[in-house]
Amino acid sequence: MKPIPIMLCGLAAAALPLAVWARPITYPGGTNVMVGTDPTMDMVHADYTINKDWALGWASTHYKDMDASAHGPQLTRGWRWNYPDSQANVYVWGGAGPTFVDDKAHASGWGGASADWEDRRWYTQAGTSFHTTANGPDFLWQTARVGVAPYVAEAGQLHSWLMLQVDHTPGARETWSATPMVRQFWGDYLWEAGVSTRGGVMLNLMKTF
Amino acid sequence: MKDKTMKTQTLTLGLLMATLSLPALAAESHEGMHQMPDGSWMKNAEMAAPEKAVNSAVKADKTVVASVNGLVCDFCAQSIKKTLMKEPGVTDVKVDLTAKTVTVGLKADGQLEEARLKGLLKEAGYDMIAYKVN
């Protein structure tokens, strides 16, 4: 069996990207439910939008290889700047909860920040996040995304994006990775699919209620 | 085994790209439409009577139209619709990402004052910059 610190480091590496692709704040009273899967994990994340600035959520993640799971509430604060043809957002979040390994719970906490700018043709985003675990290592991770829409869609039509995500995970076996992906959304649904240079297919789905 | 995995991944990405190309091809079909200076497309009938076209698309006795900053995607449209449809007297909401407008349909006796609409849009995360009653 692998030592727990190494396993937890792996957990954090797998879990962190999902906090950034998600769009945690929607309209007041609305809820975003997000599910994601790749060869290493399955994830469910729900966020309730309290008002335009705050969302309260819950994240549950199961790690297939290690048969471990992490659960906990998460609070997100958002800021938005609206322009005639674009918008920019900054999100800051933090959460805490147990990480279960071999039926033993380890106290853990996490947080991060993300900024994005988009218009109807271009998308850019960058973020950083950390995960700290009692009796385990602190973990830091950074990501950046760029995207282009091959066509400009109107409200009610299928929106499509071609995106490239680059991840930097100090301490991981492969420090850098890139994931070309397709993002599409239509109505209340958003889904993403890509293939990472680390290997494996990534699929994410989000629905707003 | 690794080759098989790579083939599966390549096939998956290929299918996704094919899926992606369908709406792009559909978007290229503009029969009976006119291209605007900003590159967007409008039906010829709407070109002749744009206000009538907007009003006929909204289920309402009367409408108010707001120009809004920050409209970039369908999630924006959905957030605005769900926020405004909770308001008493509102019968329909249409978001036009190209014109950057939100058209709100009202009952005959319904009212949506400028300050109220601005507040509701702010609550949804967007900024109203102009207001017009039709």
Q: What ipTM was reported for this prediction?
A: 0.81
Strand-by-strand arrangement of the B90-96 sheet: B90-96, B101-106, B62-69, B127-133
Provide the shortest C-alpha distance from residue B77 to chain A (in Å): 6
Binned at pLDDT 50, 70 and 90, residue A22 comes out as: low
Is B108 near chain A, with CB under 8 Å?
no
Residues of A in contact with B27 (CB under 8 A): 151, 153
The H or E element spanning position A155 is none
Contacts of A49 (CB under 8 A, 6+ apart): A24, A25, A26, A27, A28, A29, A30, A31, A32, A55
Under 8 Å CB pairs connecting chains A and B tally to 113
Name the average pLDDT for chain B.
Answer: 72
- β-partners of residue A71 are A60
Please tell me which of A111-120, B13-22, B34-43 the model is most confident about, judged by mean pLDDT.
A111-120
| pLDDT for the residue A5 | 45
Long-range contacts from A113-116, C-beta under 8 angstroms, 24+ separation:
A114/A19, A114/A20, A114/A89, A114/A90, A115/A88, A115/A89, A115/A90, A115/A91, A116/A88, A116/A89, A116/A145
| pLDDT for the residue B47 | 38
CB contact (8 A) between residue B72 and residue A119: yes
Residues of A in contact with B39 (CB under 8 A): 152
Name the average pLDDT for chain A.
Answer: 83
pTM over 0.90: no
Provide the shortest C-alpha distance from residue A143 to chain B (in Å): 22
Closest CA in chain B for residue A161: B20
